[in-house]
Amino acid sequence: MKILMELIEPIVGQEADLESIITYVEILLDYNRKVNLISRNITTEGIVQLLSETILLNRYISCDIVVDAGSGNGILGIPVALMKKNEHKTIILVEPKKKKFLFLRNLKEQMKLPNVEVKGVSIEEYLKNTKKEIRSLIARGFPGFSIFCRYLKKDLVKEAIVITSQNKIKKNQIHLESVRKKIYNVPLRKNLKILKLF
């Protein structure tokens, strides 16, 4: 835990509850030994890199209801929920794969996260059936941007913020032409970008 704290503290700073972030990482790594949620070969340093990218993405979220599309192991949604500025926000983790959904649901209960909801459906199904006004969609490595652009154009979503590669942005250019966008660099990751669609 000491090594984990030494690695995480500089990137989290005062933005989040350090102990809660460490608890999340410890639970994730422990659970990952039993059920593959993230690469079996992931190192603590690899987790720290992913956390730093999440903290960077968090700076671009401007809405109070945030939906993590394809939440997986929670590496976006959970740290966002633990940010001090987000205590009043609702973070909705949407994950269709049962083993990942069960992990997220157990994690929410274990960590007592009142601002987190977990849904075991695809993002398409969730967006089609929800009664909540969705303002921010966040994702990491999402296969395509067409769904985000479709909901942005219908004004059902205010913004979509995605950690993705420059290559994926180029491949999806046709979808991106219909929405406004900003692209931000991710420090120390030449091909990785944060794409904000609005």
Q: What is the pLDDT of residues 3-36, one digit of tens each?
A: 777 878 777 777 778 889 999 999 999 999 898 8
Of the chain, the end-to-end C-alpha distance in Å amounts to: 39
Those residues with Cβ within 8 angstroms of residue 106's Cβ, 6 or more apart along the chain or in another chain: none
CATH code assigned at 189: 3.40.50.150
* Helix, strand or coil, per DSSP, at residue 191: strand
Residue 1 in this model has a pLDDT that exceeds 70: no
Residue 63 in this model has a pLDDT that exceeds 70: yes
pTM value? Answer: 0.91
Which pLDDT does position 4 carry in this prediction?
73
How would residue 43 be classed by pLDDT, with cut points 50, 70 and 90?
confident
Nearest Cα residue to 180 out of 161, 196, 169: 196
**Residue 30 token pair:** 């422990």
Q: If you average pLDDT over every residue of the chain, what do you get?
A: 91
Query: Strands, E, within the chain: which ranges?
Result: 65-69, 90-94, 116-119, 136-140, 159-165, 181-186, 189-197
> How many folded domains does the chain comprise?
1
Nearest Cα residue to 162 out of 189, 187, 136: 136
What is the rounded average pLDDT of the residues 82-95? 93
Distance separating alpha carbons of residues 173 and 185, to the nearest angstrom: 18
* Residue length of the chain: 198
What is the rounded average pLDDT of the residues 68-95? 95
Lowest mean pLDDT: which of 36-50, 92-106, 155-169? 36-50
Boundaries of domain holding 113? 2-197
Q: Which residue(s) pair with 67 in the sheet?
A: 92, 137
